[in-house]
Structure 1
């Protein structure tokens, strides 16, 4: 990455930070590109070099955080992990983003983010073939991944909206215990 590319990337990061600062203070619908640029201490021209509008900026953040999660998952050796490890990792990753996620939830923008990230689930399955993933038809796999992804995002939403959310490790333990009980109940029938 050359100097100009680094500066462009830094400008995008400042614009994202500025958007979230403003989202903490006022409704998304009332925020203008001018406000975002001023908050970032950049010109409107710099904003428009990077983004079409504030929706494009928010979409950029959504894709970027999803991509970071995917890249981070790729660094893990999936064959050596237990499901609890992956749950813990999931909660630890999103814990680092909790302030921004809480802002998105408060603004009613969390589901918009999920719409950008959810299609990445099949990509995650492709690059992260963990031992507990099902072997099935592409249709079956797609539905199971959609089911699991929806569950994870709903838990994430419920968890981070709280004033004092549990730790990532506690969340992983809670989910593991609940899933184990569900599996035991299913065996009893």
Structure 2
């Protein structure tokens, strides 16, 4: 990575941190670009809007996860992927809860859906299986948020087991 790319990443990271710092004290929808620039001690040419900042942050998080195995067939591989994701959510707990509190869960779910879709065979919008994908994605998002809101009472391994149990046996018993 050359100097320009490093500098661009540094500036973007400052802006991300500035936005989250402001979201700790203010409602997301009332935060202005000027406030972000002042808090980040930076300039704003890298993003189109505030949602773009959050999408950048979330996509960078995905890059921190180990490469996903396409359509994991073994429970252990799927469990490992859940645990990796839960550990990352744990590390980013404050920011995830901040996004959730500010009604921005749809951005997290969109990136989760993108990540999930990238390891599955393509599902077109006219295929009824698309509902299953959205259903599972929403369930996993809310499971993660409930775990974070409960202050991580269970270990990532326990939550992964709970999720896999629901996925395999169904949620309505």
- Per the normalisation by structure 2, the TM-score is 0.77
Given the superposition, is the C-alpha separation of residues 41 and 170 from structure 1 closer, same or farther in structure 2, using an over 3 Å criterion?
A: same
Conserved 8 A contact 2:79-2:160: yes
Q: Does 1:84 align with 2:79?
A: yes
Deviations 1:23-63 (A, max 9, x none): 00111111111111111111xxx21x201232322232233
Deviation at 1:79, TM superposition (A): 6.4
Match of 1:148 in 2: 136
- More deviation, 161-170/171-180: 171-180
Match of 2:55 among 52, 55, 59: 59
Query: Unpaired runs of 5+ in structure 2?
Result: none
Query: Which residue pairs with 1:26 in the alignment?
Result: 26
Distance 2:164 2:68 in 1: 23
Hey, which bits of structure 1, 4+ residues long, moved more than 6 A? none
Does the 8 Å CA contact 1:28/1:107 hold for their aligned counterparts? yes
Describe the shift of the 1:162–1:7 C-alpha distance in structure 2 as closer, same or farther (beyond 3 A): same
92-101 vs 138-147, which moves further: 138-147
| Larger helix fraction of residues | 1
Looking at structure 1, the residues matched to 84 and 7 of structure 2 have their Cα atoms a distance apart, in angstroms, of 31
Larger Rg: 1
The SS at the match of 1:22 is helix
- TM-score normalized by structure 1? 0.72
Query: Conserved in 1, the CA contact under 8 Å of 2:68 and 2:81?
Result: no
Does residue 1:121 correspond to 2:116, yes or no? Answer: yes
